[in-house]
Amino acid sequence: MNQHIEWRLPRGPRSAGRARAFLAGQAKEWKLPEDTAETAVLLLSELVTNACRHAKVPPGREVWTRCVLLRDGVLRVEVSDASDVLPRPRAAAPDDESGRGLTLVAALADAWGAYPRECGIGKTVWFEVGAGVTVDGVRDHGGCAALDGVEEEPMSETTRSSRHQSGMRGARYGEVLLISPSEDGGLKAAVYNTFGLNDCPLDKWNALDARALAEQFQVPVVFLNGPRFWTIDEVTTYVWGDVEKFDGLEARWAAEVRIPPEIDVTGSSAKKCYVETTVARDTEYVLAAGKPVYALVAPGDRTYVLQAYSHTVDDSQTIDSLATLGDRLRLPEGWRFRVGTPDEDLHVRTVDKKATVLQDELENTYMLHVR
């Protein structure tokens, strides 16, 4: 199984040294060959230095480092920052004090590249060491093609490990949506979720200022979605992102949402409910046997399972009040609300790394269950 570790570092002059020390210690724990460890420590230092020195981003943004020991002994190192500018090596003059970092990476790494982060903010620069030597002793630098306009995949399916969380039913969380224009002329949102990091403390949540956050993160709109409460019991996540701080409240990138034009995100008019939205994420929800499952059933038995209820519209909702939720909803013609208790665990899985979700008029969220 792959092993990984990650660190968050402030954008300051000491962070490169701290990164070197962290990786050197981890290399000993992983028992990496001495030459592999030395090369990795040197190249990590160069990338962290670049991220701290050259990333033109708002103050307070951190640099993320992720190190993955792959099953074939290759060490992959990723450094992420909030700048969207992809790096390119440049020729440094003999008397230049900087400008050689990427040239060094290109010379010493077995492969390297860069790609925009999945959350839509910033980039990740990566390299691999410990492999890539061909029979004639020439290193393969195929990863460099990403810097010439070829988008590099963040990690292959085999290099990502899953994250499993349980004990979720009734747990409180919040979502911060960073909304920006999409490539097709519509809107998209990078979704950050507090679950697993904190219980969305109400004092911190209520203190969030959407307009100030939009200015800080340089997006047109920030939407605060919560507090919310899970109605599932477990989740396995196969794709996830970095943690950001929103006025001190930590939340992790969880998904990207394509926002249908029918849905208002400005608050200037009422949102439309029962409208399908596509969410780019890769998850499997589990609703435990013997516990209630709440669902909307559309014509044709198209079933949407309740994944979370919300306090955005009605803060009197509780896990117990969901049994009579159907009496409060103004469902579209032909729809019905259903409560059941399965004898076996119910698994609700994304399809092709996409979930189809919708909300009712209380902003409770449901996910399409594809059998």
pLDDT (tens digit, 9 = 90+) per residue, 243-271?
889 999 999 888 889 887 767 665 544 46
pLDDT (tens digit, 9 = 90+) per residue, 90-117?
544 444 334 456 888 888 998 888 888 7
Q: Give the per-residue pLDDT at 57.
A: 53
pLDDT classification of 118: cutoffs 50, 70, 90 = low
Tell me what percent of the residues of the chain surpass a pLDDT of 90. Answer: 48
pLDDT (tens digit, 9 = 90+) per residue, 122-154?
788 999 998 433 323 333 333 332 323 223 333
Q: Give the per-residue pLDDT at 84.
A: 76
Structure letter (DSSP) for residue 301: T
3-state secondary structure 69-103: ECCCCCEEEEEEECCCCCCCCCCCCCCCCCCCHHH
User: Residue 277 pLDDT > 60, yes or no?
Assistant: yes
d(Cα 259, Cα 268) in Å, to the nearest integer?
Answer: 16
Q: Contact at 8 Å (CB) between 297 and 335?
A: yes
Which DSSP string do the residues of 243-273 spell out, in sequence order?
EEEETTEEEEEEEEEEEPTTS--SSSSPPPP
pLDDT (tens digit, 9 = 90+) per residue, 312-367?
999 999 999 999 999 999 999 999 999 999 999 999 999 988 999 999 999 999 99
pTM: 0.60
d(Cα 245, Cα 60) in Å, to the nearest integer?
Answer: 9
3-state helix, strand, coil in the chain (%, to 5): 20, 35, 45
pLDDT classification of 2: cutoffs 50, 70, 90 = low
C-alpha closest to that of 317 among 269, 263, 360: 360
Q: Give the per-residue pLDDT at 163.
A: 75
Q: Give the per-residue pLDDT at 87.
A: 72
pLDDT classification of 155: cutoffs 50, 70, 90 = very low
d(Cα 368, Cα 371) in Å, to the nearest integer?
Answer: 9
User: Residue 34 pLDDT > 70, yes or no?
Assistant: yes
Q: What is the mean pLDDT of the chain?
A: 82
On the CB side of 321, CA atoms within 13 Å amount to 14
Q: Can you name the residues that pair with 178 across neighbouring β-strands? A: 190, 222
pLDDT classification of 54: cutoffs 50, 70, 90 = low
Q: Give the per-residue pLDDT at 50.
A: 86
Specify the range with the lowest mean pLDDT, choosing from 73-77, 174-178, 241-245. 241-245
Q: Contact at 8 Å (CB) between 213 and 246?
A: yes
